[in-house]
Amino acid sequence: MKKKVYILAFIALIIGGGEAKALAPADYAEFFKIDLSEKLPPIEELREQFRPAPVYDRKFEYYWKIGPKFDRSFAQTIRKYGTRSKRLKWEGEDEFVEMIKDMPPETYEYIGPYLHTLPGIPEKILNMPGIKETKNKFPSRIAPQVADIEDIEMISPVFYFLLMPEFWPENHEGEELDIPPKLPEPVNKYHPKLLDSIAKKIKPADFMPGANIESPVESRLRTINPDENSPLSTPDIKAFVNTLKELREFGNDIYRQVRLIEAGRLLENYENAIGRGVGVPDLKDTVHPCARLVQKIRLSGMESDFKAIISEQGFDSSEWAYTCDKTIKAYRLLNMSQAEAQTLKLFRHNIYGDSLEAFDYKYGPMIASVMQAMIERYNSPLGDMLEVKKNYKEIEEALQSSKMRIVGQGIFMK
Q: What is the pLDDT at residue 22?
A: 43
Sign of CA dihedral 211, 216, 218, 219: positive
5: which residues sit within 8 A by CB, 6+ positions away? 358
pTM above 0.75, yes or no: no
CB distance 123 to 100 below 8 Å: no
CB distance 407 to 293 below 8 Å: yes
Between residues 196 and 189, the one the model is more confident about:
196
Q: What is the pLDDT at residue 60?
A: 59
Q: Is the pLDDT of residue 175 over 60?
A: no
Q: How confident is the model at residue 173 (pLDDT cuts 50, 70, 90)?
A: low
CB distance 38 to 298 below 8 Å: no
**Distance of alpha carbon 66 from its chain centroid, rounded?**
46
Taking the C-alpha atoms of residue 18 and residue 136, their distance in angstroms, rounded to an integer, is 33
**Residues pairing with 406 in the sheet:** 409
Taking the C-alpha atoms of residue 400 and residue 102, their distance in angstroms, rounded to an integer, is 46
Taking the C-alpha atoms of residue 247 and residue 302, their distance in angstroms, rounded to an integer, is 13
What H or E segment, with its residue span, contains residue 303?
helix 303-310
Percentage of the chain with pLDDT > 90? 34
CB distance 278 to 20 below 8 Å: yes
What H or E segment, with its residue span, contains residue 409?
strand 409-410
Between residues 311 and 413, the one the model is more confident about:
311
| 3-state secondary structure at position 41 | coil
Cα–Cα distances (Å) from 76 to 56, 64, 83, 299, in that order, read: 17, 19, 12, 47
- 223 Rama class: left (phi>0) / alpha (psi -120 to 50) / beta: beta
Taking the C-alpha atoms of residue 157 and residue 142, their distance in angstroms, rounded to an integer, is 13
pLDDT by residue (tens digit) across 302-320?
999 999 999 999 999 999 9
Q: How confident is the model at residue 72 (pLDDT cuts 50, 70, 90)?
A: confident
Count CB neighbours of 279 within 10 A.
23
Q: What is the pLDDT at residue 166?
A: 83
pLDDT by residue (tens digit) across 233-277?
999 999 999 999 999 999 888 899 999 999 999 999 999 999 888
Taking the C-alpha atoms of residue 267 and residue 144, their distance in angstroms, rounded to an integer, is 47
Taking the C-alpha atoms of residue 226 and residue 232, their distance in angstroms, rounded to an integer, is 8
Taking the C-alpha atoms of residue 271 and residue 38, their distance in angstroms, rounded to an integer, is 12
Taking the C-alpha atoms of residue 46 and residue 273, their distance in angstroms, rounded to an integer, is 11
What H or E segment, with its residue span, contains residue 410?
strand 409-410
Taking the C-alpha atoms of residue 220 and residue 157, their distance in angstroms, rounded to an integer, is 65
Looking at every residue in the chain, the average pLDDT score rounds to: 81
Q: Is the pLDDT of residue 6 over 60?
A: no
Considering only 86-90, 154-158, 175-179, which range has the smallest mean pLDDT?
Answer: 175-179
pLDDT by residue (tens digit) across 211-235?
555 544 456 688 888 988 899 999 9
Between residues 278 and 247, the one the model is more confident about:
247
